[in-house]
Structure 1
Amino acid sequence: MVDQPTADGDVVDSVLTALADPTRRQMLDLLSARGQATATTLADGLPISRQAVVKHLTVLDTAGLVGSVKVGREVRYAVRPEALDATARWMAALASDWDRRLAKIKRIAEAAERDDAHRQ
């Protein structure tokens, strides 16, 4: 498996946990499309209450996927791509590691097949 420094591993774990929920993924899509939005605005586009939106935003914020800024009485949320970037790098490294392993298995299987063909 791909070795990760603890901090990056923690980020990846938080991101994957946050993204496991389809409502949170939908919220990220909405935020990406709008640039910024309040919890109330997001709740208008989702089949959940504003309070549920706030709870989901807390999970996304903890994972580093969104950030917030207070503008007057409103709290506006926006996507923060850094945590996604770290997760994408981890996934790319994992995919590369598996590609190397599968290529090795393929070479071993092909060599065994050639050996069997020569013996017959």
Structure 2
Amino acid sequence: MSEPDVFGALANPTRREVLRLLREHGEQPVQALAARFDMRRPSLSEHLRVLRDAGLVMERPVGRQRLYALRAEPLREVADWLTPYERFWRARLAGLRDVLDGMPDD
């Protein structure tokens, strides 16, 4: 079995929005999620499948419904990967601030 593609799953804005909705509103049935998007339910189901395959959401059947919940653990990989870049940009922006602070006010 291959490594889950967390980065690939996060590349799509619809999937990022699904994760935001689950983070802010908790576990939700697919119907409630689908109501937030201007797309057919099968299209949203495909996005949910990608998120599930990447380990970013859990799917739980309850009767005839499927409930989805956020699994934030795989996002640690993303945060770990981004940390050096964040430090890089903070240093660059601090340098820019120093240059701008040293310029005369006109």
TM-score bin (small chain)? 0.7 to 0.9
1:45 aligns with 2:36: yes
Residues in 1 aligned to 2:6 and 2:44: alpha-carbon distance in whole angstroms: 17
The corresponding residue for 1:105 is: none
Q: 2:76 aligns with which of 76, 79, 85?
A: 85
SS of the residue 1:76 aligns to = strand
1:27 aligns with 2:24: no
Question: Percent identity among equivalent residues?
Answer: 38
Tell which structure's C-alpha radius of gyration is larger: 1
The corresponding residue for 2:49 is: 58
Q: 2:63 aligns with which of 66, 72, 78?
A: 72
RMSD of the alignment, in Å?
2.3
The corresponding residue for 2:85 is: 95
More helix by share: 1
AA paired with 1:29?
R
Q: Which runs of 5+ in 1 are unaligned?
A: 1-6, 103-120
- Report the count of equivalent residues: 89
SS of the residue 1:61 aligns to = helix
AA paired with 1:79?
L
Q: Which runs of 5+ in 2 are unaligned?
A: 92-106
Residues in 1 aligned to 2:7 and 2:54: alpha-carbon distance in whole angstroms: 9
